[in-house]
Amino acid sequence: MKLIITQPNDYHVHFRDGDMLKSVVPHTSGHFGKAIVMPNLVPPVVNAEMASAYKDRIMAAVGADVDFQPLMTLYLTEETTKEDIDLAAESGCVHAVKLYPAGATTNSQSGVRDVTKVYPILEHMAKRGLILCVHGEVTDHEIDIFDREAVFIEKILAPLREKIPDLKIVMEHITTKNGRDYVQQSTKNLAATITTHHLMINRNHMLVGGIKPHYYCLPIVKREEHRLALVEAAISADPRFFLGTDTAPHVDGHKENACGCAGVFNAMNTMSCLAEVFDEHDALDKLEAFAALNGDLYYGLPHNQKKMSLIKKEKAVVFPEKIQVADECVTVFDPVRPLYWNVEDVG
């Protein structure tokens, strides 16, 4: 069986920098036409000049004959100025600004402690037409890690949207039915990305029979009912839901550790995983909307000209367990089930 779709985009990736960047970028640029690139480097990407220099480093890692457009983001801090926003809006390379609640995830220590402090900047972004991407989790110690997304919606996101209704927001990597329902109930200026792994695994995969550090990511994977709610949203073709893989590589030494890092590296097998899930739900005809079209519509960008063909094989496709990064390894996402779909061609 063969499926041909418009070349997809990844509306949420972590490329890192240095040797890691060189090793992981080709896995994204080989399949996807565009990608929203997260700014959580050390130090973070906080202005258009840094974003443009980072874009150049990414482009140097993309193969010479490959068409790929990195869509850059800025890291919002309590020091971000209106001038930073103006320069970003005029840069042509910055497409969104990312809000990390301080302490929420990898390299978020420079993030925002009190969101009301950045309201004037968010109002200015709304005027300049820059999208806000949010990591939707509170960081209060007394809130259970499995409830942090739901509490974020109630305590941070709902008041913010009421105060600044003209700001276009993407709730990144939603992981719960609450997140899905909240986006479905909105009437404007709200969309959400969904990751590959949150469509495939639940918290049992991470915790039953021994702890699996390579399934640890943030927001953390939840119960099966939440995974099913995300699958329903992804296969619905509702334009408010689109792919953001959240591919977030860490070397094995940082994952298989007494205090392991959060992040799943799925750039290489995402399209095979998605085709499998959509096929299982008789929704292959909706894969293009989710992976290639909806994100463009929300970001106001043209669709890719190229097509991707995927083929369903008789025998399961085998992906490498790891990739090499300098003298270390990064483990590839194991989707727990055999994958029969494979990307045949992009052109």
Residue 252 designated active-site: no
Any contact of residue 135 with ligand NCD (CB under 6 A)? yes
Question: What is the pattern of x (binds ligand NCD, CB under 6 A) and - over residues 273-312?
Answer: ----------------------------------------
Instruction: Count CB-CB contacts under 10 A for residue 29.
Output: 25
Q: What is the largest CA-CA distance in the chain?
A: 56
DSSP state, 247? B
Nearer to Zn ion, 134 or 346 (CB): 134
C-alpha distance from residue 346 to each of 5, 68, 137 (Å): 10, 12, 36
Could you say which of ligand NCD, Zn ion, none residue 48 binds, taking C-beta under 5 to 8 angstroms by partner kind? none
Asked whether 134 and 99 are in contact (CB, 8 A), the reply is yes
Place of tokens 């991707």: 308
C-alpha distance from residue 124 to each of 67, 86, 116, 277 (Å): 33, 9, 14, 40
Any contact of residue 246 with ligand NCD (CB under 6 A)? yes
Any contact of residue 25 with ligand NCD (CB under 6 A)? no
Nearer to Zn ion, 262 or 301 (CB): 262
332: closest CA among 24, 14, 22? 24
Nearer to ligand NCD, 212 or 307 (CB): 212
Instruction: Count CB-CB contacts under 10 A for residue 187.
Output: 6
Nearer to ligand NCD, 218 or 332 (CB): 218
**Judged by CB under 6 A, which of 5, 134, 248, 330 binds ligand NCD?**
248
Q: Determine which helix (DSSP H) or strand (DSSP E) holds 177, and give its type and residue range.
A: helix 177-185
Which residues in the 77-116 window bind ligand NCD by CB under 6 A?
Answer: 105-106
Structure tokens at 265: 């590296």
Minimum CB distance to Zn ion, residue 105 (Å): 7
CA-only gyration radius of the chain, Å: 19
Nearer to ligand NCD, 125 or 134 (CB): 134
C-alpha–C-alpha distance, residues 73 and 93, integer Å:
8
Any contact of residue 138 with ligand NCD (CB under 6 A)? no
**Judged by CB under 6 A, which of 8, 39, 111, 263 binds ligand NCD?**
263
Q: Which of 10, 84, 238, 246 is catalytic?
A: 246
Mind telling me the catalytic residues? 246
Residues that bind ligand NCD (CB under 6 A): 14, 40, 105-106, 135, 217-218, 246, 248, 262-263
